[in-house]
Amino acid sequence: MSLSKFKRNYYGYFFITPFIIGFLIFGLYPVYNTLALSFTDTTLMSKNADFVGLKNFTRLFADDVFMNAVKNTWIIWILNFIPQIGIALLLSAWFTNARLKIKGVGVWRALFFLPNLLVPASVAALFFAFFSFYGPVNQFMVRFGFLPEAMHYLQSVPITRGLVVFIQWWMWFGQTVIIVMAGMTSIPVSLYEAAMVDGATAAQMFRRITLPLLKPILIYIFVTSLVGGMQLFDIPFLLTDGRGSPSSSIQTNNILMYMKFASSKGHIGAASSVGVLIFLMTSICALGIFYFLRDKDNSEIDKSARRFFFKKKSA
């Protein structure tokens, strides 16, 4: 084979080689290594590591702290994601509606996206300062008579959990709005025009046209938000004492994984077992999202076409 023919047939592999090498080293190997460590009693300060089988996982499921962390993670993600996707769909429908003719759509999108540019650690520190005992919120509430005395906001379970949910929603709903708007603007206008000629209402067009054609975008939003929600760590960790207080109400999976590592002489095996369970839980839920939101239109069209063809042929 000549050199010119080799370059023409295989030069593309040279361009993707850096990505493949980086993925194998920094993506696939950490997953394999975490899975292998979860079956051992490896610690950070010991050379020896013994295979313990499922002992780390058995301890996790026997510990109420793990189940509480899983519950907290799901509660925080669901309470954050439902208003996030709901408000994103509503704002996107308004901004892309030609009848409303909302001015400054680009400015509004930029304003909504700005919180996403902030570092989560700085946002958590800012809210901690706002809601501390001598913070601006207490000063305002006491001076104007809304509270008789200052309140320990960060020692209240509903308030602390609500703050984490609000911060997550506030930081990410702008990005969701932009993604949903991009999906809506890609839908052909002729579909809406045909529906209007047939007398369809705005609600019917949204339910019958917009939502079905947004399925690929919604799958992406659901899965990426799920992955981010299951990995929540920095905001609840920095907002309180690092353990998910009060009453461990905002202790998430990743905070528990850090605690398993930090509070037991660097027990990497125990921390890895938490990471493996998070990975499995996220993967199963993501596959469920792909299954239930998959596009069924083509298969249904094919079945109806076959029925029509055989009916016509028999007639």
**Total Cβ atoms within 10 A of residue 124:** 20
Query: Can you name the residues that pair with 43 across neighbouring β-strands?
Result: 267
Q: Which CATH superfamily is domain 65-314 in?
A: MetI-like (1.10.3720.10)
Query: Directed axis angle between helix 55-62 and helix 64-95, to 10°?
Result: 80
Q: Which residues contact 232 (CB under 8 A, 6 or more apart)?
A: 73, 76, 77, 164, 168, 252, 253, 254
Query: Can you name the residues that pair with 51 across neighbouring β-strands?
Result: 40
Query: Directed axis angle between helix 157-185 and helix 105-113, to 10°?
Result: 140
- Which residue shows structure tokens 């669901």? 78
Cα 149 → chain centroid: 38
pLDDT of residue 294: 78
Q: What angle do CA 74, 256, 268 make, to 5 degrees?
A: 135
pLDDT of residue 172: 92
Residues 88, 143: contact at Cβ < 8 Å? no
**Total Cβ atoms within 10 A of residue 68:** 16
Per-residue pLDDT of the chain (315 residues; tens, 9 = 90+): 555 655 666 777 788 889 999 999 998 999 999 999 999 988 887 778 888 889 989 988 888 889 999 999 999 999 999 999 999 999 998 888 877 788 888 898 889 999 999 888 899 989 999 998 889 999 999 999 898 999 989 888 899 999 999 999 999 999 999 999 999 988 888 888 888 888 888 888 888 888 889 999 999 999 999 999 999 998 998 888 666 677 788 889 999 888 888 776 778 888 899 999 999 999 999 999 988 887 765 444 344 434 433 444 444
pLDDT of residue 304: 40
pLDDT of residue 192: 85
Q: Which helix (H) or strand (E) holds 290?
A: helix 268-292
Question: In 44-63, which residue ranges form alpha helices assigned H by DSSP?
Answer: 55-62
pLDDT of residue 5: 59
Give the SS3 label for residue 251. coil
Residues 200, 111: contact at Cβ < 8 Å? no
